[in-house]
Amino acid sequence: MLDLPQGTHLGKLSIEEVFHFYDVPRIFTCTNNSGARFLVLSTFDDYDEYTWLYLPISVDRINTLLAKHIDLKAAFVSPEDGFLYFVETSRSQPAKVTYIFPEQISEIDLPNSDAYLETQQKPRFGLGAVDPDLAAESTKREVFNMHFYPWDTTLPELDAKSLGLVLTTFQELANSLGQYCKGDVTLKGAIPADILEQTKFKATQIFDGSFGIQLKSKSISDLFGGSLISDVLVELTNLVGSRDSEDNISNKLHQLKGRVASKYRAFLREVSKLDSPMKLHWGSPSGERGSTLTLSRQEIRSAFEIVSKIDTDMSESVVFKAELLGLDVQAKIYRVKHISDSEVYSGKVSPDSLSGVQNSKINGIYTVTLKKVVETNFSSGSEYTKWVLVSLVPATE
C-alpha cells in the first residue's frame, strides 16, 4: 500500500490513474482537492524510503502522452510550468517536497527516450483547455478555435449541415495552402497524400461563450515549434486578415496561386450563410506565432463577393480545336463544337476578346481558348460551371 505525501504544499492527494505497478504504483497520476493534477514517477526505493518526481500536468499534456505524441522523458524535461517537484517519502518520517527545475534532474532518474505512457484501459481525463494558447503549449500541436455568434437564436446553436460545410471547406482551404507552402502549386488533380496528412485537422471540442469549436492539427510540431500546418496557418491568417480590402485580397490570392482562390471562396460562402460574425483564435507551440482575428458579417459577405470576382480572373483555361457554330458580337455570346468529341460549348464572350473574334467565320475551324468560371447561387449554395470564350485563332493543319 502506498501512502501519498500529506500535509505538504502539494495538497491533499489521492491517486487517480495507475499506469505501472510493481509492489507499489510506480507511474501514476494523482490530484488534490483543488483539482491540480500530477504525473508521478518513482525514481528510487529502499524498502522504507522512496523518491519521486511529481510533474504538474494538464489534461491536454496527459492526453498527448497517452496518444504517444511525446515520450515520458520529454514530458519531465519540458514541464508546462517550467518546474516540478522532487519528493522524498519514508514510512517513518514526514514527506519532504523540493521545488526543482528540469535541468536539476539526474539523468539516471529520467525514463529512456523511447519510453511511452502505457495503459490497458481508456482513462477519462476530459477534453483539455479551451484556450488555444494553453492547449497548443501542452499538446505541441497547432490549435485553432472558431467562434460564431448566431443572431437568430438565444442559444449558441448552428445548423449541423452548415457547420459541416464550414469545416469541410476550411480543411480544403488548408490543404490547398499546404501545396503553396510546399512549393508545388496545381490548379486541379489530387493533392499529394503527404501534404493532406500534414495539413489535417481534428475537431476536439465544442464550447460555450458564442458557438465555439476547437480544431487541433493532427501533426506534432518539431523541437523548434515548426511544421507544415503552422506555415499553412500563417498564410491562412494573413489571407483572412485582408478582410474585405480588394487590393490586399487580390495581391494575396495572386501570390498564393493554384486552387487557393476557389477554396477560399467556398469557405467564405459557407461562413456567409451563417449570417454571423466570426472570430478565429490560433494558438501555436511556437511563441512567435499565433493570432486572433474578428470579422463582422458585412466584412465576410464583402470578402466573399471580392474573392468571387477574383476567382473568375484566376480560373483554369482549356484549349482545343473546334468548329464555330455561332457568334453574336452584340449579345456577346458564342457556340462552338469540339472537333474530337463533338461536345458543344456555349456561353459569353469575354469583353476583352470581342475585337479579336468579331471577324471570325461561322463553320470555320479554330483553336479555341475557354476559361472555366464557377458561379454560386448564394441562397442555395449550388455551383454552376460556365465557359467564357477568351480567344479564337484560325487552326493550322
pLDDT at 347: 93
In the chain, where are the structural domains located? 13-109, 132-313, 317-394
Nearest to 29 by CA among 123, 109, 121: 123
pLDDT at 141: 93
Q: What is the mean pLDDT of each run of 10 residues along the chain (397 residues)?
A: 84 92 91 94 89 95 90 94 94 90 94 88 78 92 94 77 95 96 81 94 89 93 78 97 94 88 93 94 92 96 91 73 94 94 92 89 94 65 77 86
Q: What confidence score (pLDDT) does residue 254 get? A: 87
21 class by beta-carbon count within 10 Å (0-12 exposed, 13-18 middle, 19+ buried): exposed
What CA–CA distances, in Å, run from 58 to 111, 135, 286? 20, 9, 18
Selection from 295, 292, 283 nearest residue 148 by Cα: 295
Which pLDDT score, from 0 to 100, does residue 224 have? 61
The confidence score (pLDDT) of residue 185 equals 81
Q: How far apart are CA 127 and CA 204, in angstroms?
A: 7
Residue 329 CA: distances (Å) to CA of 286, 356, 372: 58, 11, 20
Q: Give the model's pLDDT for residue 383.
A: 63
Q: Please name the residue that has the C-alpha cell 499506469.
A: 19
φ, ψ of residue 175 in degrees (nearest 5): -60, -45
- The amino acid occupying position 205 is Q
DSSP 102: G
Residue 376 pLDDT: 58
Q: Rounded to an integer, what distance in angstroms lies between the CA atom of residue 74 and that of residue 64?
A: 11
Tell me how far apart the alpha carbons of residues 111 and 62 are, in angstroms, rounded to a whole number. 16
| 382/82 Cα distance (integer angstroms) | 52
pLDDT in the model for residue 309: 80
Parallel/antiparallel/unpaired status of strands 278-283 and 333-338: unpaired
Contact 44, 136 (CB under 8 A): no
Confirm or reject CATH 1.10.10 for domain 317-394, answering yes or no. no
On whether the CB atoms of residues 146 and 69 are closer than 8 A, the answer is no
Decide: 276 and 151 in contact? Cβ < 8 Å: yes
Residues 6+ positions from 390 with CB-CB distance below 8 Å: 317, 350, 353, 369, 370, 371
What's the pLDDT score for residue 397?
64
Query: CA–CA separation, 25 vs 17, rounded Å?
Result: 10
How many helices and strands (H and E) does the chain possess? 10, 16
